[in-house]
Amino acid sequence: MDQLFSDAASGFVKATLRLAPMLRDVRLIVPVRRRPLPGEPLDLLMMRKSDGSLFLPVFTGQGEFGRWKLAGPHGTLPALNLFQEALTGPFALVVVNPAGPRRSELNRQIIGTLVSLAHSGSDH
């Protein structure tokens, strides 16, 4: 999975086409500001790059999340929901596994393509 995110971030079309249909089933770990009460939405933690742009850090597994020096409260959401949120939010990027070793930066264009392909392949 990490390799697919990395290849999609690099603009490889085949990886993007393979990854998009998986977005409904793949759950990603997201850091949150605080643990929500039952029924409350997650308050996603945004990070700022040195250029001032905001990004949403997400993680493909507990090991990747544990490498991040800011690891704390977190939740899991389907990748498709997270990417849709990123498109409507102030994020310039979604950064998958920001602590490495396979860090991937997905810009809005790649995220939009993944979301569009995921929806076009659905039966709904």
Q: Is the dihedral of CA 94, 89, 123, 27 positive or negative?
A: positive
Of 79, 96, 102, give the one whose Cα is nearest residue 3. Answer: 102
Predicted TM-score of the model (pTM):
0.84
Using pLDDT thresholds of 50, 70 and 90, give the confidence band for residue 123: very low
Q: Which CATH superfamily is domain 2-120 in?
A: Uncharacterised protein PF11572, DUF3234 (3.40.1350.90)
The distance between the two most distant Cα atoms of the chain, rounded to a whole number of Å, is 41
- The beta strands (E) that lie in the chain are given as 27-31, 47-48, 54-58, 74-78, 93-96, 104-107
Predicted confidence (pLDDT) per residue in 22-43, tens digit:
898 999 999 888 777 788 777 8
CB 16 within 8 A of CB 8: yes
